[in-house]
Structure 1
Amino acid sequence: MLVPIPDPRPAAAKPADMRFPVPISAKRPLFPNHLFRPRSSIGFSARLLSSPLIEKMLQRQTPAVKASVKNRIQAMSKFFDIIPKELRPKLKIVDVGAADLGPGTDPYNALLSYDDVVVFGFEPNSEKCQQRNDNSGENKKYFPKFVGDGSNRTFHIMQNPFTSSLYEPNDSILNCFQRMNLPLISSEEVETICLDDINELDAIDFLKIDVQGAELDVLRGANKLLSKTLIVHTEVEFIPMYKDQPLYSDVDIFLRERGFLLHRFIDIFSRQMKPMILNNDVFSKGSQIIYADGAIFVRDFSNIKNLSNEEILKTSCILHDVYKSLDFVGFLLNEFDTRNNSTFLHAYLNMCNSRNADSKG
């Protein structure tokens, strides 16, 4: 989620991106080139992605820069490298709120290098939706539709289009923070559709949702599909940025009732509360968490035996390539090997350990 933060400073004094205001120096690369030599792979890339130093260096860069660096790290290894081609399942991705934030910024970008990946995206802004279709291959299709619970709603259009929402901005909360106002420009009546009503969708491997407070509406409209969904990556708010919006706790309860568990959060956002301005920087983090770009939900792993072999491989691929959840992948592969008398866990551990050792050498 991006927040509009009007800035009176002249253009030359403004940072490249208002949420991550410190641009990269043109004189020095963000990370040393040796971090990306071919010998680096699974173990090393996982340590890079979880490194506090990397997180700190990326914290205040633009979304495109963050995506570029993370993609270079993630490209060091792919889960399907250890899986024979004949066993590699086809992945289906559904992207609700598919506005393009720049090359490589989709959270599922690491999966797009596979030939058999299909993406169904929904972006209600017709112009932005057409741009996505123009820049996409045949395996990615985007539709200018509002996804929700199937009801007629009022769409609130903000000064920053990325913050427009089916919910009205909650100024009483937003005004407590530095530069968090969401100026409302206009509103229009719209019709929402349910994912359950889309004939082309019979199952979802990776469901990404970014709809500015209306995440639970999307999930309610996918009640049937959720029983055939493996991973949900959804933005969530911890405080009501929009009036009467569902919060993280509501999303968590809804998904737990349908067989999901929270795996982790991605990019938790905060902002200083007024009147404090520490280090003369109104854009720096505060103590109050506001939202997370991603709350990652997985199928209840205590019932792993309910997953098919194909679902285990799909989940493993997503968790490794997108999130580098190495131990979770090992847990899944152990179940797969037990069922099939295979040795994929051994191959995976050997790859992680041997490459990690090599990266230290």
Structure 2
Amino acid sequence: MDSFYSKIKLCSIDFLDIGCSGNLDNKWFPILSFINYTGFDPNQEECERLINLSNKYKTAKYLPYAIAGEEGEKKIYKTKSIYCSSLLRPNHKWLSRFIYYDLFTEIGRDSVSCVTLDYLVCKKNIKADIIKLDTQGLELPILKMGSKILKNVICVETETGFLENYVGETTYSQIDEFMRENGFLMFDMKIRKVGRRNFLSECGEHQPMWCEAIWLYDFIGQKRKCSEKQAIKSLAICRALRLYDYGFELASYFRDAGILDTIIFEYLNNQKTWEPSLWQRFFQNYFPQKARNKWKNKIKNKLKRIFGFKIL
């Protein structure tokens, strides 16, 4: 067990997953047990299925809402891959040049009732420290209509195209401008490349099509004070994302502002405090959630055969 989070007195982190489609990425593994998770899926049956799955979160709930930049009934374009369905129509002329074009084949349309983040704040008392968005081109409209919640957010994870893979999609350059205007700094980016539809599609380098980016609020640059709870959450997020230098810079700022306890700061003023053990790094980086669950189930079944009843 990693003692870092108990030593800094972390209680919980509110995580909104907009466009949820399974387990969170491994980078969030260190803080899973502290996360109050809220996932959104417009399908009520899918929400019920997801809530019945086992998870490692502190709490978990799934709400049957489609999140958009405005409220009301919208048309959803259903595609061959459920992960490519969107309120925006695929840009077929552009996508047809790439090997993954088939995933965007339209198989039907449906109507969904959409709400905004600001609506959820007012009507459902939704809170967030971390927001993850994977909404096929709607990230910017959603964030723009989430000002009530964004003002308290520490971390945002976006998945955004570099070009219009959907008609009317907002692209990374627009997200970058918006996030910087709202006091966020980009700390990580995973670029996803796709080959073109010819015999060289698996050779050489390919064009970047979209990226996953991590943004953290710049408390120092914005000269914004916060509560002790927010400070602790910020440090925990930095540790989980392995942004140790920024985490300690924040710790120093919070200490100087009289927000962070001196005892906690002294604990953080040590390189070994920030670096997880070799075993923890291996477990997080090379032993994904699916493999962990499979390994755990094997142990459970073996113990049951030995003792004749369920042990874990």
Q: Which interval holds the TM-score relative to the shorter structure? A: 0.7 to 0.9
Letter in 2 for 1:336: F
Name the counterpart of 1:92.
14
Give the distance between the partners of 1:355 and 1:229, measured in 2 at CA. Answer: 25
Name the counterpart of 1:328.
246
Q: CA deviation at 1:316?
A: 1.2
Give the distance between the partners of 2:65 and 2:274, measured in 1 at CA. Answer: 47
Equivalences for residues 232-271 of structure 1 within 5 A: 232-265=156-189, 267-271=190-194
Say if 1:106 and 1:95 are closer, same or farther in 2 by CA, change over 3 A.
Answer: farther
Could you report, residue by residue, the CA deviation over 1:209-256 in whole angstroms, capped at 9, with x for unpaired residues?
Answer: 111111122212212211121111111111111111111112222222
SS of residue matched to 1:225: helix
Name the counterpart of 2:61.
141
Give the distance between the partners of 1:128 and 1:107, measured in 2 at CA. Answer: 25
SS of residue matched to 2:213: strand
Aligned counterpart in structure 2 of residue 194 of structure 1, from 116, 140, 148: 116
* Residue 163 (structure 1) aligned with residue 84 (structure 2): yes
Letter in 1 for 2:93: S
Give the distance between the partners of 1:275 and 1:132, measured in 2 at CA. Answer: 39
Equivalences for residues 27-176 of structure 1 within 5 A: 77=2, 79-83=4-8, 87-100=9-22, 103=23, 105=25, 108-114=28-34, 117-136=35-54, 139-149=59-69, 150-176=71-97
Of the structure 1 ranges 301-310 and 240-249, higher mean CA displacement relative to structure 2 is found in 301-310
Q: CA deviation at 1:346?
A: 4.0
Give the distance between the partners of 2:39 and 2:275, measured in 1 at CA. Answer: 36
In angstroms, what is the RMSD of aligned CA positions? 2.8
SS of residue matched to 2:20: coil
Give the distance between the partners of 1:142 and 1:354, measured in 2 at CA. Answer: 33
Letter in 1 for 2:119: D
Q: CA deviation at 1:305?
A: 4.0
Percent identity, aligned pairs only, is 23
Unaligned runs of 5+ residues in structure 2 are 280-312
The answer as to whether partners of 1:272 and 1:285 remain within 8 angstroms in 2 is no
Say if 1:136 and 1:216 are closer, same or farther in 2 by CA, change over 3 A.
Answer: farther
Letter in 1 for 2:20: A
Give the distance between the partners of 1:132 and 1:189, measured in 2 at CA. Answer: 22
Name the counterpart of 1:317.
236
Give the distance between the partners of 2:193 and 2:47, measured in 1 at CA. Answer: 29
Q: CA deviation at 1:329?
A: 0.7
Could you report, residue by residue, the CA deviation over 1:119-172 in whole angstroms, capped at 9, with x for unpaired residues?
Answer: 121012333322211125782110121011224321000011111001111112
Say if 1:258 and 1:186 are closer, same or farther in 2 by CA, change over 3 A.
Answer: same
Give the distance between the partners of 2:223 and 2:236, measured in 1 at CA. Answer: 16
Say if 1:218 and 1:311 are closer, same or farther in 2 by CA, change over 3 A.
Answer: same
Give the distance between the partners of 1:187 and 1:356, measured in 2 at CA. Answer: 47
Structure 1 runs of 4+ off > 6 angstroms?
353-359
Give the distance between the partners of 1:354 and 1:107, measured in 2 at CA. Answer: 15
Name the counterpart of 2:284.
none
Give the distance between the partners of 1:142 and 1:91, measured in 2 at CA. Answer: 16
Q: TM-score, normalized by length of structure 1?
A: 0.67
